[in-house]
Amino acid sequence: MATLRAIGGKCRALMAAAKTSTAASVESSATKTTAAKKSKPVSAASATKGILKPVPVSPTLSQFIGSNEASRTEVVKKNPENKKEIICDEKLKVLFSGKDRVGFLEIAKLLSVHFVKAGAAMARELSTLLLAGTATGTIQPVTVWNGIKVGKKIIEFIGEVPEWINYNQNLENHLQLLKRKTEFLESREADVVIELKNIEHQSGRKRKEEVNHWLRRVKTKVTDVRKVDDDINTVSYLPRFLFRAWLGSCIGKEIDQVNDLVQQGSFTTGLLLDAPRDCGGPLVTSDLKGAVVVQKLDEIWGHLISPFTVRIGVQGPAGIGKTAVMAHIFNRLCSSCRVFYVNVPPDFSIYNLQACIAEELKVDHLPQTEGSEIRRAARLCQAFKSMKEFVLILDGLPKDFAPGDLGISLEGNKGKIIVTSQCLNVCKRMLCQETVVLESLSREDSENLFMEKLAADSPLSEDIRSVARDIIQKCSGIPSKIIDMAVQLRGADVNEWLDTSSDM
């Protein structure tokens, strides 16, 4: 028994030692694990995701925290320490919508309005880059405008986040719908073309310019739809879901535009012009040079046929071709409505401009005494009001004026006014709803125009060709300068070319 008792005592001692050792081992292991967890650094990737990601903040919050960017967790840490409720001072009231007291759970909601949306940040960055590029001359105006249009599309797409899933899931169905509507539009286009061939020949009348404009828009739209169809299976650098959502958004807009063209193609007032009215006959015109100029002409015409646009501005430097473009516009209009073309006199005054308009409108017996502008305006106003539809072109306006001072009435009729000026501010102060800016010719178009007007009997020598390129470049894409230089150098020798280049 004593032996057994001794063995039992030793066993208990061994068990106690083992238990102590195990506990120590577990404690040591736990301590190491905890230390490892504490010492494990947070990865850079996880520190820039979710609520930890720094984002742009509003000017109000930026002034409060002293930084232009911050994560949501950092901003909350900067609030006064109070576990349940914050008593706001004047600074915090600005951030928290003027509240005196704010619960802890309200903080995130109230701060959310101060974090700049991704689209707004993108737009701000895009605007900064475009303005900087324009100031340094590295970005052309056309590039700026295209960049703005792309930026607007991206921002609109970001605002459609709730619809992304719908766009992605129904992409193929919407594409088929777009194809069916486009096929219907093409059928309507074919019907219009056949109808035009029949009735133009029979009546001897011309088709309306709005019909030609509609046909051009249909061809452009059909091309755009085909491009969308080609892109449907293309995976860009974007994730496939996002890319399909983007395509779905584009297809939705294409469907709306096709529907608009189908509706406009009904032509309830007919396809042909009414009997021509006397407007003094067409003006002598020359072919417009350069694809950009032709596009600008179509842009002006699009504004003219819009029922919502009454005042249109055309701006560009001297010699850019404003008068040539207006002559084409006049000839397009003169067979469909009453159009009046007025060259604004260099010695601009209300009195002188009234006289020019009266001569164009064939209004006789205007008061001729000084200070009679008000009575002259009343006579002109009566003449304009007697017309149901008219277009007044004022070419070369050096300064703005109130249309009422001249007697131009745009109320109670379908009158429109087109103003051309070298100064963009004149168009703005004339309250033009749309302003078309004419741009200089490209290098290729400038060279083609120069060689056409030079009318050389034989190819130019290499020496003269080099000087010609320098002269063309100094003309800065201004058509009138290019034409003047070409006419001046017809039949000239190398020395005359060199002298002309050095004098420019």
**C-alpha–C-alpha distance, residues 313 and 424, integer Å:** 8
Most confident option among 36-45, 92-101, 132-141 = 92-101
Report pLDDT for 72: 58
Query: What's the pLDDT score for residue 373?
Result: 87
85 sits in which H/E element: strand 85-87
Spatial distance between the Cα atoms of 153 and 90, rounded to a whole number of angstroms: 40
pLDDT band at 313 (very low <50, low <70, confident <90, very high): very high
Q: What residue type is 436 in one-letter code?
A: V
Residue of 458 and 331 predicted with greater confidence: 331
Burial class (CB in 10 A: 0-12, 13-18, 19+), 97: exposed
pTM above 0.85, yes or no: no
pLDDT of residue 84: 62
Looking at residue 146, its pLDDT comes to: 54
CA distance 188 to 169: 31
> Which one is predicted more confidently, 403 or 240?
403
Q: What is the mean pLDDT of residues 101-128?
A: 58
User: pLDDT confidence of 394, banded at 50, 70, 90?
Assistant: very high
Query: Under the phi-then-psi rule, with left for phi > 0, alpha for psi from -120 to 50, and beta for the rest, what region is 152?
Result: alpha
CB of 425 within 8 A of CB of 452? Answer: no
Q: How confident is residue 153, by pLDDT bands cut at 50, 70 and 90? A: low
Strand, coil or helix: what is 467? helix
Across 375-458, the runs of DSSP E, i.e. the strands, are: 390-395, 416-421, 434-437
The SS3 of residue 351 is helix
Q: Which residues contact 232 (CB under 8 A, 6 or more apart)?
A: 171, 172, 175, 247
Strands (E), 6-64: 55-56
Interior angle at CA 393, CA 389 and CA 399, nearest 5: 130
Report the pLDDT value the prediction gives residue 315, as an integer from 0 to 100: 95
Report the pLDDT value the prediction gives residue 419, as an integer from 0 to 100: 96
> How is residue 412 annotated by DSSP?
S
51, 111 in Cβ contact below 8 A? Answer: no
3-state secondary structure of 207: strand
Sign, CA dihedral 241-247-249-252, equals: negative
Over the chain, what is the mean pLDDT? Answer: 75
Q: Which two tokens stand for residue 140?
A: 């052309």
Contact call for residues 379 and 405 (beta carbons, < 8 A): no
**Bridge pairing between strands 338-343 and 85-87:** unpaired
In angstroms, rounded to a whole number, what is the distance separating the alpha carbons of residues 340 and 418?
10
Least confident residue range of 156-165, 204-213, 254-263, 473-482: 156-165
Task: Give the ranges where 339-423 is alpha helix by DSSP (H).
Answer: 350-361, 373-385, 403-406
Max Cα-Cα span within the chain: 150
Q: What is the pLDDT of residues 234-262, one digit of tens each?
A: 544 445 666 677 777 788 888 999 999 99
Q: How far apart are CA 414 and CA 110, in angstroms?
A: 51
> Which sign does the torsion angle of CA 344, 348, 350, 355 carry?
negative
For residues 452-473, give the mean pLDDT.
86
